[in-house]
């Protein structure tokens, strides 16, 4: 009777681990939905073709003048208010560091709990094997996230944050503007490293 009770406890712990993992994925997803830096492009290749078509069209002199005026105005704003630019940069750095710490904290909790299942002498072999598989998966996801972040940052972004699950990926890059060409390059990295479908990849920006 006591043996069965211990098995129930272990099963409950394993179920709790899956719930924790699911809750964490929902936490990150909910925090990214509806925020003003969301950017999703269903077909970056089509977007690039559309951009190329637009760029091949003749540009009127008045449009060039308007663009130059806008650039001058933006430069003047930056020059007059450098504190605002510095504050924006600091906020972005805080965002990336906080989410990176949150990701690491949740992963550490998962690893610790799975390790408890493995070290428990009353855990059946089937459950131990499951726990070991989950630990390997967590380590693999963590390493892959770090590699992808470095590859994305090598494209010229100041920072990048990657969240991976078994079948989806969310990438946030630190930049004021994110062009279709940049989206296509980031998506290419994700597809090569994760083998995920483009439909399961979200690319967003944070300035």
Model confidence pLDDT, tens digit, residues 100-141: 999 999 999 999 999 999 999 888 999 899 999 999 999 999
Question: pTM score, two decimals?
Answer: 0.63
Between CA 187 and CA 173, with CA 26 as vertex, the angle to 5 degrees is 35
Mean residue pLDDT across the chain: 74
For a pLDDT cut of 90, what percent of the chain falls above it? 49
Helix (H) or strand (E) segment spanning residue 203: strand 201-206
First to last CA, the chain: 59
The pLDDT tens digits for 191-203 are: 999 999 999 999 9
pLDDT, residue 13, reads 56
- How many residues appear in the chain? 207
pLDDT, residue 8, reads 56
C-alpha to C-alpha distances, 90 to 97, 139, 203, nearest whole angstrom: 11, 30, 22
pLDDT, residue 63, reads 41
pLDDT, residue 92, reads 73
Quickly count: other Cβ atoms within 10 Å of residue 38's Cβ. Answer: 14
pLDDT, residue 61, reads 45
For a pLDDT cut of 70, what percent of the chain falls above it? 57
Q: Which CATH class is domain 2-206?
A: mainly alpha
Q: Is the pLDDT of residue 41 over 90?
A: no
CA–CA gap between residue 206 and residue 31 (Å, rounded): 13
Residue 10 pLDDT grade (very low, low, confident, very high; cuts 50, 70, 90): low
Residue 42 pLDDT grade (very low, low, confident, very high; cuts 50, 70, 90): very low
pLDDT, residue 91, reads 73
pLDDT, residue 39, reads 41
Do 14 and 130 contact (CB within 8 A), yes or no?
yes
Residue carrying the six token digits 């998962």: 110
Q: Could you tell me which residue, 65 or 166, shows the higher pLDDT?
A: 166
pLDDT, residue 158, reads 92
The pLDDT tens digits for 57-98 are: 444 444 444 544 545 554 554 455 555 445 456 777 888 999
pLDDT, residue 194, reads 95
pLDDT, residue 85, reads 44
Between CA 171 and CA 177, with CA 172 as vertex, the angle to 5 degrees is 125
Residue carrying the six token digits 């494209």: 155
Domain ranges of the chain: 2-206
């Amino acid at each position: 009777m006591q043996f069965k009770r211990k098995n129930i406890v272990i099963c409950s712990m394993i179920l709790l681990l899956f719930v924790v993992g699911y809750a964490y994925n929902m936490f990150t997803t909910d925090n990214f939905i509806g925020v003003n830096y969301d950017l999703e492009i269903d077909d970056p290749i089509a977007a690039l073709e559309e951009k190329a078509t637009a760029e091949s069209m003749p540009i009127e002199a008045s449009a060039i003048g308007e663009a130059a005026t806008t650039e001058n105005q933006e430069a003047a704003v930056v020059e007059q208010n450098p504190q605002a630019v510095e504050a924006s940069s600091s906020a972005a750095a805080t965002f990336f560091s906080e989410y990176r710490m949150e990701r690491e904290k949740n992963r550490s909790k998962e690893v610790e709990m799975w390790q408890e299942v493995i070290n428990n002498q009353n855990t059946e072999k089937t459950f131990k094997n499951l726990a070991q598989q989950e630990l390997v998966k967590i380590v693999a996801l963590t390493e892959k996230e770090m590699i992808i972040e470095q590859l994305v940052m090598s494209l010229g972004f100041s920072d990048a944050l990657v969240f991976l699950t078994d079948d989806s990926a969310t990438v946030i890059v630190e930049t004021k503007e994110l062009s279709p060409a940049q989206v296509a390059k980031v998506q290419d990295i994700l597809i090569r490293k994760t083998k995920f479908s483009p439909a399961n990849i979200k690319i967003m920006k944070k300035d």
